[in-house]
């Protein structure tokens, strides 16, 4: 099996995806918030690229069962219930609810995975749980594409460190994947910079912007390794926890 990493928010340049697992990462903050929401009992997260689409969808559902969440330029969208702060997705706010969500890069990145065998959503907060799923897929011979949401099509350090952590986690103890060049670089970045996650997230471009905008605590929350041990799976346009999907 093989591991490739896409740093620019889209796995579609990585060739045929039909038998490959795609892992979408947007550490700051969309994939962390998705893991927090599902970890705290949300039924599903339904991602939308646009604000209007998200509002229209929320209006079409029973409002008491929906939480409308998202950001533009990092701040909560007027009229929405929540922004994109992982700490906002508390059990009280989200348990049993469907989260209709739109964020700048993260929710759009999910749309760039069409045609793949399985799409997972990963971050540091659900690292071990997602890694176990990836290792199981690797043992079945399934190749992996790690798609970093990045920032407006550009490289984002925090996503690269997280991607590298997953590459290193899969490629050990009896699994020896072929690594694409970007996967090797991601692993190097994690080895070199991933020792203090809170520090590297705060040093990243987007981390600094979040701190400047008053969201420093969110940045620290996004560095909490394994705080939300869920495996979010994106299927039929919604993200659900893997366990829940199996029980159905
Ligand atoms: C995004 O999707 O671009 C991010 O999650 C932005 C943010 O920090 O809210």
Q: Does position 79 have pLDDT exceeding 90, yes or no?
A: yes
Q: Band of the pLDDT at 244, cuts 50, 70, 90? A: low
Take residue 181 and report the two structure tokens written for it: 């060049």
**Which of 73, 82, 103 is the pocket-test mutation for ligand 1 (most atoms within 8 Å of CB)?**
103
Phi, psi of 46 (to 5 degrees): -110, 110
Domain 2-29+108-233 bears CATH identifier 3.90.1560.10: yes
Using pLDDT thresholds of 50, 70 and 90, give the confidence band for residue 246: very low
Torsion of CA 74, 57, 89, 236, to 10 degrees: -100
Locate the domains of the chain by residue range: 2-29+108-233, 32-104
Provide the pLDDT for residue 145: 95
**23 SS3 class:** strand
Q: Are 198 and 223 in contact (CB under 8 A)?
A: yes
What's the average model confidence in pLDDT over 104-122? 87
pLDDT tens, position by position, 208-234? 999 999 999 999 999 999 999 999 999
Instruction: Answer whether residue 176 shows pLDDT above 90.
Output: yes
pLDDT tens, position by position, 231-242: 999 999 999 999
What is the Å distance from ligand 1's center to 74 Cα? 6
Structure tokens at 201: 């997230």
The answer to whether 135 and 175 are in contact (CB under 8 A) is: yes
Ligand 1 pocket at CB < 6 A: 26, 28-30, 71, 74, 84, 103-106, 210
Q: How far apart are the C-alpha atoms of 190 and 167, rounded to whole Å?
A: 9
Other CB atoms within a 10 A radius of the CB of residue 196 amount to 11
What confidence category does residue 201 fall into, taking pLDDT thresholds of 50, 70 and 90?
A: very high
Query: What is the reported pLDDT for 247?
Result: 38
**Angle at 219 (CA atoms; ends 213, 225), nearest 5 degrees:** 170
Among residues 7, 9, 12, 17, the alpha carbon closest in space to that of 143 is found at 17
User: Ligand 1 centre from 235 Cα, in Å?
Assistant: 21
């Amino acid at each position: 099996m093989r591991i490739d990493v896409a740093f620019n928010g889209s796995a579609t340049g990585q060739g045929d995806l039909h038998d490959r697992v795609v892992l979408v990462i947007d550490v700051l903050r969309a994939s962390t918030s998705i893991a927090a929401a599902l970890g705290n009992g949300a039924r599903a997260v339904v991602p939308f690229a646009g604000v209007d689409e998200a509002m229209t969808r929320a209006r079409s559902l029973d409002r008491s069962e929906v939480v409308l969440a998202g950001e533009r330029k990092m701040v909560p969208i007027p009229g929405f219930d929540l922004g994109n702060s992982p700490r906002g997705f508390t059990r009280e706010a989200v348990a049993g609810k469907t989260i209709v969500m739109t964020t700048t890069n993260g929710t759009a990145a999910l749309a760039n995975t069409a045609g793949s065998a399985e799409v997972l959503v990963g971050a540091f907060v659900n690292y071990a749980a997602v890694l176990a799923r990836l290792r199981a897929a690797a043992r079945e011979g399934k190749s992996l594409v790690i798609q970093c949401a990045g920032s407006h099509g550009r490289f984002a350090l925090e996503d690269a460190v997280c991607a590298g952590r997953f590459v290193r986690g899969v490629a050990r103890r009896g699994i020896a994947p072929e690594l694409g060049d970007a996967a090797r670089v991601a692993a190097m970045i994690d080895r070199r910079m991933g020792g203090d996650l809170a520090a590297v997230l705060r040093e990243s471009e987007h981390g600094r912007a979040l701190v400047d905008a008053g969201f420093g605590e969110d940045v620290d929350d996004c560095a909490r390794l394994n705080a939300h041990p869920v495996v979010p799976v994106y299927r039929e346009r919604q993200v659900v926890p893997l366990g829940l999907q199996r029980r159905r």
